[in-house]
Amino acid sequence: METVEMNSVSLKRPHSEDDVANADDIKRQKISEKSQTGNNSGQSVETVKEQPDKSLLEDTKNEIIPNEEGEEQEDEELEDSDEDGDPESFADMMKHGLTESDVGITKFVSSHKGFSGILKERYSDFVVHEIGKDGRVSHLDDFSVPVDDEVNSEDPSEETFTVLSDEDKQRLEELQLLKNKETSVAIEVIEDSKEKRTVIHQAVKSLFPGLETKTEDRDGKKYIIAYHAAGKKALANPRKHSWPKSRGSYCHFVLYKENKDTMDAINVLSKFLRVKPNIFSYMGTKDKRAITVQEIAVLRITAQRLAHLNKCLMNFKLGNFSYKNHPLKLGELQGNHFTVVLRNITGTDDQIEQAMNSLREIGFINYYGMQRFGTTAVPTYQIGRAILQNNWNEVMDLILKPRPGAEKGYLVKCREEWAKTKDPAAALKKLPVKRCVEGQLLRGLLKYGMKNIISAFGIIPRNNRLMYIHSYQSYVWNNMVSKRIEEYGLKAVPGDLTLKGATAVHIEEEDVHNYTIHDVVMPLPGFDVIYPKHKIGEAYKEMLVADNLDINNMRHKIRDYSLSGAYRKIIIRPQNVNWEVVAYDDPKIPLFTTDLDKLEGKPLPVLPTDGKFRALKMEFSLPPSTYATMAIREVLKMDTSIKNQTQLNTTWLR
């Protein structure tokens, strides 16, 4: 695990309710004179650095997305020197990013005074455990491989993973993926014996699904010949007869990962197993800059093969294996349990007590967090708005035009070429990464022409296209909830909406005493929702009219972009809230043990009773689709945007 050493200081910010409402006040933050040296993450809330953290730069660049077939990223090692430089130049670039007030995040529910703390100084300060639909929290606590009642003679032995040379594996992979013109690969059997030939047969069949093998004599020597059993159709489909009938078709396991997002992790596992990513399933995606623990299911890959990956993968561990007859489905989880460390806190014990009690008893505003809206000068909600307006030239322009801010150098060159020539082929040549959104749109324009932008845009995977319009819905929702809190405070009022089962109903005057703010929901705009009966209902209409949209006609001529809408609670009260203030001297020392630490028998960190620094250790559980950063924002009362963090950081150096 790579860490970056740098200097940091804690920033002190006044944060009353009035301060947050005023964007100008947010910029006039005061900086505490106190400083410390430590390992700092790019997402830290209030840090000053001598050099911009690589992780921050990476998190603010356009992400490379997998295509619909889940092809793995080929370009993750690409770096660009344009992003090097002093923090002031990076902060200048981030001036074009978003602050919370830009996306409607302006209110707090608690009355305590805010205080400073460093969020994600180390990615290991942010740990996420998935909560399954049965309410069980996922933990990695067992590396053992289950034994079948029916022994499968074709399960690979340990020798299977070492009997083939790297050159053999390369040739077999090319054959498996049909990357060359060869119809077979011959592997000479050194030190020939029946046992040795059996191991090679097993190795080829288990490591390269879709290939069959046979033994041949050539010039007095024994060779194992690998070939395609059924052409392309056999690729990545495990042989049916090799799977015991008594064993469930899906191997479920717990994935423990550090500093990788879920899709990246699955792409890596796919690459090592030499299978397609789409045979994996999961209930939800998890943060990159964190330690996360979640359940994954994979079709017809043995626990033994998966367990072997623990010997060759960095920052991953797999365990708690079991066989079941079903995959996992997105959204089946109950939520996530978070363990978070906020380092170098400045709040008094009384402030911390007030803040955490408020989080436990009242909760926080259920805003969509900053990651929903992108980090560049073109927010994702603007593209979503243009899609809903059916303004396809604007969609193309927003995605491809030059933009100020922090981006990979090759994207900058691609945008400049596009602005100069409007030639998709020329702009595409500037992109070594073809699977980013820009590359996919340019390929679409090359295929369908500039007069068919709708079809060109359709080349982008569906989930990524829908991300834009969901971002616009989130933008509207955040703004409307801020207005609702400002207008009516933290109590249910007549005209609010609540859910009866899955159906939204208005709260009537005579029933209002039966409801609290925790019962109130607000709609994401769409054709299948109702709106509040009070002023906020009109505010929805006014906001959409200002965006040239009709709230009464949210159906789009392209079915994918028709918004049905949904309901979302405006206040979330976390469950299982616990906290502890600890003292420490060394910023690099972990302040709690992870699942992996426990499995490896690492002792609890020894902390001084009277250290130089103080940290707040928090634990809480949240339902799906809620943002832990918004809960932490409520505790600290601070702007969580990268733009605000970076501007505050750089102020100290000027």
The residue assigned the tokens 């529910």 is 109
| Nearest alpha-carbon partner for 222 in 191, 182, 199 | 191
102 counts as catalytic: no
Helix axes 166-176, 194-207, angle to 10 degrees: 50
Angle subtended by helix axes 380-388 and 462-488, to nearest 10: 100
Cβ neighbours around 398 below 10 Å, total: 20
Catalytic position from the list 59, 287, 496, 595: 287
CA dihedral 14, 16, 22, 25 (to 10 degrees): -10
In the Cβ-directed half-sphere of 3, how many Cα atoms lie within 13 Å?
Answer: 14
Interatomic CA distance for residues 420 and 414, integer angstroms: 10
Which residue in 478, 572, 532 sits closest to 109, CA to CA? 572
Residue 208's nearest CA partner among 189, 234, 181, 244 is: 234
Amino acid identity at 364: F
| DSSP secondary structure of 606-635 | P--TT-SEEEEEEEEEE-TT--HHHHHHHH
Distance CA(412)–CA(430), nearest Å, equals 9
SS3 341: strand
Quick one: 578 exposed, middle or buried, by C-beta within 10 A (0-12, 13-18, 19+)? exposed
- The SS3 call for residue 296 is strand
CA distance 317 to 247: 23
Look up residue 27 and give its two tokens.
């910029």
Residues 207, 274: Cα–Cα separation, whole Å? 7
Tokens 């007069």 locate to: 451
Catalytic residues: 287
